[in-house]
Amino acid sequence: MSVAGARPNFMKLASIARAIEVHNASNKNPTIEHLIVHTGQHYDNRMSVLFFEELELPKPTINLNVGSASHAIQTAEIMKRFEPVLLEHQPDVMVLVGDVNSTVACALVASKIKYDSEQNGSLAEGQNSRGSRPLIAHVEAGLRSFDRDMPEEINRILTDALSDLLFITEEDAILNLQREGIAREKIYFVGNVMIDTLLKNLKKAEQLNSTVIRSDFHLNRGDGYALVTLHRPSNVDQPETLNALMGCLKTISSKIPIIFPMHPRTKGNLEKFGIYQRMSESNGILITEPLGYLEFLGLLRSARLVLTDSGGIQEETTFLRIPCITLRENTERPVTITLGTNYLVGIHLEEILETAFAVLDGRGKKGEIPPLWDGKAGQRIVEALINKMVRAAYD
């Protein structure tokens, strides 16, 4: 059983779902029955359904429909609604991806559940040596920003502490996990499932860029543009910070047009602080609704510069070798800086502008692709899970 709740989960899950389908089609034993639970943390068409369609993800078997709320209420609501689902289906393995509230909520439930052994027909009696709960596998484990003000950092630490298999995307994660007392044999360096999905969809996205996207955004072939995304509470929840960042984007837009697909949290706050109108009327800044996966990847592919506070986009730009300016004080993905094309500039306006102009002058990092970001992470995860299950059955 795997869990997806919020937008960045869907591309990660797509790689795993596909690897399971490929495994089943190869007629290798055992056949894997895969159930998908959607918590409903993200629910707008453009934040959820569109991704399932574009990524050809199987429809979720169960939707918990939790919606938005405070962290405590959202997490608690997912836990309450997920427990009966887990008891009903009694999966052998729970696959959890990323670091959103849905991830930690389901990890907490799965780690404390007690299956009724008479109902658990999937393993022969006595073979379920780990006891009466599923194995918990965390995909994208071990990333640390060392900033506990970020809700995602809390979600990462807790999910990793509760997991039996920790699948990592970059080698720094090994030390991070060992420092927290996690045994080395639980850690599997498998690569990056986001990059699996990117590779699978890149051609389609490029075709879309050369036709539909360019006409939608009134871009001619060869026109340069910068792409911006912002949604972290630390950047968008305070009027002073948000206002300053918007001023910075306006300055950059005097040199290059900016396309800004806007997260609902950011749009809501711009409206609340009375800044939205001014931004939407700015020459050189095109604000759009949140985009689908293919449309966004198509734009990313041809951007001259990306400014973001997203985690996943730091990785996607590194893979595509596009300069990325990360508007945060820290990153849990250091390989995007040491090997990739990422710059960590915080929200220091002068540094943002200086870096952006250097990149536009052609002085950006060229970068290298990190090890194992090769499109096969999902396959490695499925192989590791099967090996672990087989071993657990004979322990």
Active site residues: 231
We find the least distance from the C-beta atom of residue 276 to ligand UD1, in angstroms, to be 15
Output 10 or 188, the one with its CB closest to ligand UD1: 10
Query: Between residues 92 and 140, which has the closer beta carbon with respect to ligand UD1?
Result: 140
Q: At closest approach, how far in Å is the CB of 71 from ligand UD1? A: 6
Nearer to ligand UD1, 85 or 236 (CB): 236
Give the pair of three-digit tokens for residue 42: 């993200």
Are the CB atoms for 45 and 34 separated by under 8 Å? no
Nearer CB in complex with ligand UD1: 272/278? 272
Are residues 334 and 353 in contact, defined by beta-carbon separation less than 8 angstroms?
Answer: no
- What is the C-alpha to C-alpha distance for residues 379 and 24, in angstroms, rounded to an integer? 12
Nearest distance in Å: CB 379, ligand UD1: 26
CB of 150 to ligand UD1, least distance (A): 8
Q: Please state the three-class secondary structure of the chain as a single string.
A: CEEECCHHHHHHHHHHHHHHHHHHHCCCCCCCCCCEEECCCCCCHHHCHHHHHHCCCCCCCEECCCCCCCHHHHHHHHHHHHHHHHHHHCCCEEEEECCCHHHHHHHHHHHHCCCCHHHCCCCCCCCCCCCCCCEEEEECCCCCCCCCCCHHHHHHHHHHHHCCEEEECCCHHHHHHHHCCCCHHHEEECCCHHHHHHHHHHHHHHHHHHHHHHHHCCCCCCCCCEEEECCCHHHHCCHHHHHHHHHHHHHHHCCCCEEEECCHHHHHHHHHCCCHHHHHCCCCEEEECCCCHHHHHHHHHHCCEEEECCCHHHHHHHHHCCCEEECCCCCCCCHHHHCCCEEECCCCHHHHHHHHHHHHCCCCCCCCCCCCCCCCHHHHHHHHHHHHHHHHHHC
Shortest Å distance, C-beta 166 to ligand UD1: 19
Closest approach of Cβ 268 to ligand UD1, in Å? 6
Nearer to ligand UD1, 23 or 38 (CB): 38
Closer to ligand UD1 by Cβ: residue 42 or 376? 42
The residue ranges that bind ligand UD1 (CB under 6 A) are 6-8, 41-44, 47, 68, 99-101, 151-152, 231, 263-265, 268
- Residues 395 and 389: their CA atoms lie apart, in Å, by 10
Pick 45 or 207: Cβ nearer ligand UD1: 45
CB of 190 to ligand UD1, least distance (A): 21
